[in-house]
Amino acid sequence: MSNSFGRLFRFTTWGESHGEAIGCVIDGVPAQIPLCEADIQYWLNRRKPGQSKFTTQRQESDSVKILSGVFEGVTTGTALSLLIENEDQRSKDYGDIAQKYRPGHADYTYQMKYGVRDYRGGGRSSARETAMRVAAGAVARKILDKAGISVRGAMVQMGATVIDRAAWDWEITEQNPFWCPDAKTAAIWEAELLAIRKSGSSIGAVIEVQAQGVPVGLGEPIYGKLDADIAAAMMSINAVKGVEIGDGFAAANLQGEQNADCMRMENGQVVFQSNHAGGILGGISSGQPIITRFVVKPTSSLLIPVETVDKDGNNTIIITKGRHDPCVGIRAVPVGEAMLACVLADHYLLYKAYQG
Amino acid sequence: MSNSFGRLFRFTTWGESHGEAIGCVIDGVPAQIPLCEADIQYWLNRRKPGQSKFTTQRQESDSVKILSGVFEGVTTGTALSLLIENEDQRSKDYGDIAQKYRPGHADYTYQMKYGVRDYRGGGRSSARETAMRVAAGAVARKILDKAGISVRGAMVQMGATVIDRAAWDWEITEQNPFWCPDAKTAAIWEAELLAIRKSGSSIGAVIEVQAQGVPVGLGEPIYGKLDADIAAAMMSINAVKGVEIGDGFAAANLQGEQNADCMRMENGQVVFQSNHAGGILGGISSGQPIITRFVVKPTSSLLIPVETVDKDGNNTIIITKGRHDPCVGIRAVPVGEAMLACVLADHYLLYKAYQG
Amino acid sequence: MSNSFGRLFRFTTWGESHGEAIGCVIDGVPAQIPLCEADIQYWLNRRKPGQSKFTTQRQESDSVKILSGVFEGVTTGTALSLLIENEDQRSKDYGDIAQKYRPGHADYTYQMKYGVRDYRGGGRSSARETAMRVAAGAVARKILDKAGISVRGAMVQMGATVIDRAAWDWEITEQNPFWCPDAKTAAIWEAELLAIRKSGSSIGAVIEVQAQGVPVGLGEPIYGKLDADIAAAMMSINAVKGVEIGDGFAAANLQGEQNADCMRMENGQVVFQSNHAGGILGGISSGQPIITRFVVKPTSSLLIPVETVDKDGNNTIIITKGRHDPCVGIRAVPVGEAMLACVLADHYLLYKAYQG
Amino acid sequence: MSNSFGRLFRFTTWGESHGEAIGCVIDGVPAQIPLCEADIQYWLNRRKPGQSKFTTQRQESDSVKILSGVFEGVTTGTALSLLIENEDQRSKDYGDIAQKYRPGHADYTYQMKYGVRDYRGGGRSSARETAMRVAAGAVARKILDKAGISVRGAMVQMGATVIDRAAWDWEITEQNPFWCPDAKTAAIWEAELLAIRKSGSSIGAVIEVQAQGVPVGLGEPIYGKLDADIAAAMMSINAVKGVEIGDGFAAANLQGEQNADCMRMENGQVVFQSNHAGGILGGISSGQPIITRFVVKPTSSLLIPVETVDKDGNNTIIITKGRHDPCVGIRAVPVGEAMLACVLADHYLLYKAYQG
């Protein structure tokens, strides 16, 4: 169950960073949805490495193949199998990460838990796995499209520099390599990240993902809460250390009347006067946009030496050569979008089960 | 599945705030664990309403009964059924909350989702449900005890006032009504919260929960991650809007070498030089203490009037009379502890399944 | 998970035969279904002990209480908690079954697995647990009613005596203590079972359960098959050793053209010419009646002495005194009906999730 | 969830009969188990088509590839991905089965449920899927090997001809194309099946699968019973219409004292005097061999014309040309073995979770 996510819309991923291929199986896709490889490839290309100078230069076309579950252009209701061959898995010297544990990585915990690990490029713990989340998310979006629900994300903080929310423009996110919704901040980040990359270091970031068009009533109370599922989804992404819904941690500072999203009738409709709750009340969507944020720690694959130990129990230092993302938050944007899409598709199906 | 939590250690809760009783069924408790009602009652008493002037004055003895699963003083490996009768469910006028939606509460979303809701005291969406989380947590602790794992929590922020972490003393948490680990901050909070209560308002808070003695290797990679399960557990608690592991959102500001928890050999043991990761790497426990925080929004059950609508679609205002907690974060401390205990017990059983 | 059944319509039972009470929690009941205790009691009364001289003389009123999930006469969509107090749990001498293992019972396997067992009346392994299956089935029937699906059962074989299927009359099942659909066979069984009871022995039986009005399309292919779920449901009932769908084991003897349920158009509708398949093809309902049978072994609670061993590893013999059913197949009829109702309710909700 | 089986040892299959490939993902395989493709291929070859004149002449090498989860010759504890390319998927005229529903097949129910179906060779509903069950079973056997548990099967009835159990010899099963444990019966079946094949018909069969070396204590009571899981596993195999444990339906005819497996102490060990129960009491393994049987209906892919309807609602007849198994029971033997191995591996891991 470690490699599966979801209840009714459920996907299972497999594959290691430098193995032969990666893939996923998606169960619970309704029948008769038009689907082809290009529909999925579009979203994969947004996460693909090598898109700008700010992401890893690993060259992968990340071409997805649909191996089952589609017939004559539509889904059949049976298991969808997707596969991407790993092209850039040239044999190389993995000596250092084979022997030493990178601080902040899963190297140590995998070795202790399993007594063996595929150290090549991080093996199963590599963020390469997130390509299949994006692929699953592309299929989830097909279900959401029919329901009028859309999902999009942006990077809202890099290091200490936070965007100007007043300047938020979704179109800007497509025009800079950071998915930054504010052109001025994008320019600042560019200078900052160049300096960080040059120094061989890395930096953390905060990503925000929003869903529009979510009807009131998605989510289950108590333990199957929509926000609990979103929290698990986001926290399961590599390097994520925190998740917020709506005002999140800022709600600690608020008094009750400040935090209350007051309600008014407008043209026979309930209209909320604010969205501190991020679109979820009691675990159930309120009809407002769903807003979630998550923080990504700076990768510890660094050109700067750090102290560690090796498999034989010796103190040593490690420098992680190779092609790394100085800010993994950038590529986490499409991944976060995909995970929110998957959670919503799952809850949308669940919602239908109990209606009518 | 909405009312169940966990995989191998799995509990299912039921009951409404002003119904006849609340309860839970716990499945997956290993056999031969000594267990009596007093073992559970001890933890329930820490969450019980009416413990200080800062929690609701509702009077409930919250006396738990074990109805099944224990024979001759030990667990039998079969389903444990726990029940608490609701004593303070005197018939009263629920008129206002029956007709109007409290902003920030689940009133509106439940009504829209189900077309009916038990409005008495919030019904199923009331935090009264969390008593059964604490009860389940008490049983989880029995499993953790055998494994040498302990769990404890503290309130670390109320409104804008954050504790002085340098002054952290676990014994202090038992000596003030806030589970505050720092006596000076406790005194400040007391003054602040008296003022808030007097004004009829409420305030948010941040709770930190830690686990000691967790061996390396608990957790599953990819989607069954220990941190993903903790995130879901905490986010499922009433009023929670954010969850962090280790440095959490502060990690956005860090560079890679600052965030790396360096490792050294000491007396033949791996010792981490810091714990930015909060004891979890790649979804698996590292052997360091597990550290998680969550934020609780201020309750919107207020004596201050706020704008809302009623069931018939009219604009109105609501004042929520009754006995409410001005800072629900206080009683969230034992609940957060319980949820972490349940997640760890579940992963501990899962860990054993794959070992040896 | 051992004590839960179902996916979307999911119930969890608890309680021991001679404990304080037994109960269940039902999750996934759609909101706004009218439900009261009498609705459930009706079905419980059909399973209740002491109904005739052919079932155990244990006196239990088996009065069910609804503790949560119903408000103002309708389900709220939240967890339903049902409870029956055990009345006839008078303290008595359990000496023999405390020390000795009844051959054919779970005494030995429980003791070996758990190292402890509640031996009083069989504890958790007692068929008393099936009362809660019937209660859950009563709620499932409410969901099925709305969908036009009904479920009913009959005993079709007792010992070597098989009913005359040509004489099948559902009304007859209500007029004899065996749920026998054929009056002549009922009379024969009466004589046979009196003799068996008198001899202190017991006898096996076969039960058939049918569902009418099941639309085409319920069930999931491959592993979530409708017939696989029915098989698990029936096999989980105490004493069941085999399950069939449609022709079942008789299909071994058939040639393909004999077994094919040919199809014809009649008034614009597909009409099957026979129902060898028992209403399920490829794991999915065909629109024909669903037909399943299961076999119940003779209980080994006997007044006839049988060889066994005791807890201390000595050879001994055991005679099981007390009030036992000479043919547990009789009371298995309402239990089998309930389990089929639960499986169908679960699949009906699942079906809705993927439609439209 | 329709395409997944198991809890802790859990596999998910995908692929259509005439699609590009079929495959499965296995989650929950413990680390450090030596595993290579040949280990799996050995078992696949036993199920492979074209092994004798009595199975389909479709030519597939069924060469399995391991795409993930193995590193340096051992399992890593991460998801295992297995893939078999479909070689014999030559483009051909599927006209008849595209337009008409084969009676007794899933054609009609798939079309009604999904509104679309991959009719090529039966698509997802083809027994080709069972190749991946055998592959998963091969991995399950690796877990069972370590626990000293072995699984083997035989065909025990074909049409009306039942084996002579007194002549049972496991070595004989490897020496005839029927997995028949009795040479005389094998010879009779050969003649009978030649005649059936010649007539263009098909015949049903009964398969028995046994597990040796199962310790006492596997299985969960009530709903996670070992026998309930076996029943679901077997019933989920294509064409299966019934499942028995131990004496199965024959238990209907027995009196309690005949059915009781009496127990004696021998050399300090509990020894059962018979095995009517098939090694399972109260859902938990007793330490005796586990014995299960299932019936496979005759395939309705026939050269004999049968009445049916087409997609446009016209009465018609159908003759299913192509290469079919006249007795699908033969190839069901390795599939049944694999499913029992998977159920036992799953319960073995579950058992370990709660021990110690």
- Helix axes of D130-147 and D329-354: crossing angle, nearest 10 degrees: 40
Spell out a b/e string for A112-130, using b for 16 or more CB atoms within 10 Å of the CB, else e: bbbebbbbbbbbbbbbbbb
The yes-or-no verdict on residue B92 having pLDDT over 70 is: no
Kindly determine whether residue B354 and residue D356, on different chains, have CB atoms separated by under 8 Å. no
The yes-or-no verdict on residue B49 having pLDDT over 90 is: no
The yes-or-no verdict on residue B197 having pLDDT over 70 is: yes
The amino acid at residue D284 is I
Q: Which two structure tokens, joined as six digits, stand for D306?
A: 């049968």
Query: pLDDT confidence of B300, banded at 50, 70, 90?
Result: confident
H/E element, B228: helix B226-235
The yes-or-no verdict on residue B91 having pLDDT over 60 is: no
Q: Which residue has the higher pLDDT, A170 or C320?
A: A170
Q: Looking at chain B, which subunits does it touch, using at least 3 CB pairs closer than 8 Å as the criterion?
A: A, C, D
Residue C64: what are its φ and ψ, rounded to 5°? -90, 140
Q: What tens digit of pLDDT does each residue of A137-165 get? A: 999 999 999 999 999 999 999 999 999 99
Q: What tens digit of pLDDT does each residue of C105-144 get? A: 999 999 999 999 999 989 999 999 999 999 999 999 999 9
Q: What tens digit of pLDDT does each residue of C171-228 get? A: 999 999 999 999 999 999 999 999 999 999 999 999 999 999 999 999 999 999 999 9
Least confident range of A43-57, B236-250, B326-340, C287-301:
A43-57
Q: What tens digit of pLDDT does each residue of D102-138 get? A: 999 999 999 999 999 999 988 999 999 999 999 999 9
Write the CA distances from D19 to A170, B75, D126, integer angstroms.
Answer: 41, 52, 11
Distance CA A91, CA B99 (A): 69
Written in H, E and C, the secondary structure of B236-295 is CCCCEEEEEECCHHHHHHCEHHHHCCCEEEECCEEEECCCCCCCEECCEECCCCEEEEEE
Cβ-proximal residues to B187 (8 Å cutoff; 6+ apart), any chain: none
Cβ-proximal residues to C91 (8 Å cutoff; 6+ apart), any chain: none
Kindly determine whether residue A298 and residue B205, on different chains, have CB atoms separated by under 8 Å. no
As to burial, measured by CB atoms within 10 angstroms (0-12 exposed, 13-18 middle, 19+ buried), residue C318 is: buried
Torsion of CA B270, B274, B276, B282, to 10 degrees: -10
In a 13 Å sphere around the CA of B278, the CA atoms on its Cβ side amount to 26
Distance CA B49, CA B324 (A): 10
Kindly determine whether residue C259 and residue D307, on different chains, have CB atoms separated by under 8 Å. no
Query: pLDDT confidence of B96, banded at 50, 70, 90?
Result: confident
Count of C-beta atoms within a 10 Å radius of residue D54:
19
Q: Which two structure tokens, joined as six digits, stand for D61?
A: 């090498």
Q: What tens digit of pLDDT does each residue of A204-258 get? A: 999 999 999 999 999 998 999 999 999 999 999 999 999 999 999 999 999 999 9
- Chain D residues touching C221 at Cβ < 8 A: 2-3, 106, 110, 124-125
Query: pLDDT confidence of B89, banded at 50, 70, 90?
Result: low
The yes-or-no verdict on residue C59 having pLDDT over 70 is: no
Nearest CA to C28 out of C4, C44, C47 is that of C4
Concatenate the DSSP letters of all residues of B78-117 into one string. Answer: S-EEEEEE---------HHHHHBPPTTSSHHHHHHHHS--
Q: What tens digit of pLDDT does each residue of D192-232 get? A: 999 999 999 999 999 999 999 999 999 998 999 999 999 99
Q: What tens digit of pLDDT does each residue of A58-77 get? A: 667 889 999 999 999 999 99
Distance CA D247, CA D293 (A): 9
Count of C-beta atoms within a 10 Å radius of residue A271:
13
- Rounded to an integer, the average pLDDT of D237-249 is 98
The yes-or-no verdict on residue B88 having pLDDT over 80 is: no
Averaged pLDDT of chain B: 94
The yes-or-no verdict on residue C253 having pLDDT over 60 is: yes
The yes-or-no verdict on residue C47 having pLDDT over 90 is: no
Residue with tokens 């929509």: A226
Q: Which two structure tokens, joined as six digits, stand for C112?
A: 């070996």
Concatenate the DSSP letters of all residues of C21-47 into one string. Answer: EEEEEEE-PPTT-B--HHHHHHHHHHH
Largest CA distance in chain C: 71
Averaged pLDDT of chain A: 94
- Rounded to an integer, the average pLDDT of D149-161 is 98
Distance CA C18, CA C149 (A): 35
The amino acid at residue D220 is E
Q: Are B56 and B17 in contact (CB under 8 A)?
A: no
Kindly determine whether residue A71 and residue D16, on different chains, have CB atoms separated by under 8 Å. yes
E-assigned strands of D35-179? 64-68, 70-71, 74-75, 80-85, 150-158, 161-162
Written in H, E and C, the secondary structure of C97-114 is HHHECCCCCCHHHHHHHH
Q: What residues pair up with B68 in beta bridges, in sequence order?
A: B81
Please report, rounded to a whole number, the percentage of residues in chain D having pLDDT higher than 70: 96
- Rounded to an integer, the average pLDDT of D274-285 is 98
Residue B203, SS3 per DSSP: strand
Mutation site, B5, B25, B83, B125, interface C, largest C CB count within 10 A: B25
- Helix axes of A37-47 and A130-147: crossing angle, nearest 10 degrees: 120
Q: How far apart are the CA of A147 and the nearest CA of chain C, in angstroms?
A: 11
pLDDT at C53 (0 to 100): 75
Spell out a b/e string for D170-194, using b for 16 or more CB atoms within 10 Å of the CB, else e: eebbeebbbbbbbeebbeebbebbe
Q: Is the Cβ of C90 closer than 8 Å to some Cβ of chain D?
A: no
Count of residues making up chain B:
356
The yes-or-no verdict on residue A91 having pLDDT over 80 is: no
Q: Which two structure tokens, joined as six digits, stand for A123?
A: 């093996």
Residue B122: what are its φ and ψ, rounded to 5°? 95, -5
pLDDT at C110 (0 to 100): 96
Spell out a b/e string for D138-161, using b for 16 or more CB atoms within 10 Å of the CB, else e: bbbbbbbeebebbbbbbbbbbbeb
Mutation site, C26, C111, C119, C262, interface D, largest D CB count within 10 A: C262
Residue with tokens 């709600």: A251
Residue with tokens 């003389």: C57
The yes-or-no verdict on residue D182 having pLDDT over 70 is: yes
Nearest CA to A199 out of A305, A105, A51 is that of A305
Q: What tens digit of pLDDT does each residue of C286-333 get? A: 999 999 999 999 998 888 999 999 999 999 999 988 767 899 999 999
Concatenate the DSSP letters of all residues of B305-352 into one string. Answer: -EEEEBTTS-EEEE---S---S-THHHHHHHHHHHHHHHHHHHHHHHH
Q: Looking at chain A, which subunits does it touch, using at least 3 CB pairs closer than 8 Å as the criterion?
A: B, C, D
pLDDT at D218 (0 to 100): 98
The yes-or-no verdict on residue B206 having pLDDT over 90 is: yes
E-assigned strands of C78-167? 80-85, 150-158, 161-162
| B residues 264-283 closer than 8 Å to A (CB) | 264-265, 268, 270, 273, 276-278, 281-283
Q: Are D197 and D269 in contact (CB under 8 A)?
A: no
Concatenate the DSSP letters of all residues of B40-84 into one string. Answer: HHHHHHHH-TTSSTTS--------EEEEESEETTEE-SS-EEEEE
Query: pLDDT confidence of C50, banded at 50, 70, 90?
Result: low
- Helix axes of A130-147 and A329-354: crossing angle, nearest 10 degrees: 40
Give the nearest chain A residue to D10 (CA atoms).
A1
Q: Is the Cβ of C98 closer than 8 Å to some Cβ of chain B?
A: no
Q: Are B318 and B225 in contact (CB under 8 A)?
A: no
Between C31, C221, C353, which is nearest A350 by CB? Answer: C353
Spell out a b/e string for B76-112, using b for 16 or more CB atoms within 10 Å of the CB, else e: bbbbbbbbbbbeebeeeeeebbeebbbbbbbbbbbbb
Q: What residues pair up with A292 in beta bridges, in sequence order?
A: A209, A245
Q: Which two structure tokens, joined as six digits, stand for A86?
A: 């790993």
Query: pLDDT confidence of D324, banded at 50, 70, 90?
Result: confident
Q: Is the Cβ of A350 closer than 8 Å to some Cβ of chain C?
A: yes
pLDDT at B45 (0 to 100): 93
The yes-or-no verdict on residue A336 having pLDDT over 80 is: yes
Kindly determine whether residue C2 and residue B123, on different chains, have CB atoms separated by under 8 Å. no
- Helix axes of A37-47 and A329-354: crossing angle, nearest 10 degrees: 140
Distance CA D335, CA B140 (A): 40
pLDDT at C87 (0 to 100): 84
pLDDT at D300 (0 to 100): 84
The two counts, helices (H) then strands (E), for chain A are 9, 18
Distance CA D39, CA D18 (A): 25
Averaged pLDDT of chain D: 94
- Helix axes of D37-47 and D130-147: crossing angle, nearest 10 degrees: 120
Write the CA distances from C192 to A48, C327, D255, integer angstroms.
Answer: 76, 11, 12
Q: Are A94 and A119 in contact (CB under 8 A)?
A: yes
Kindly determine whether residue D108 and residue C296, on different chains, have CB atoms separated by under 8 Å. no
Query: pLDDT confidence of C97, banded at 50, 70, 90?
Result: confident
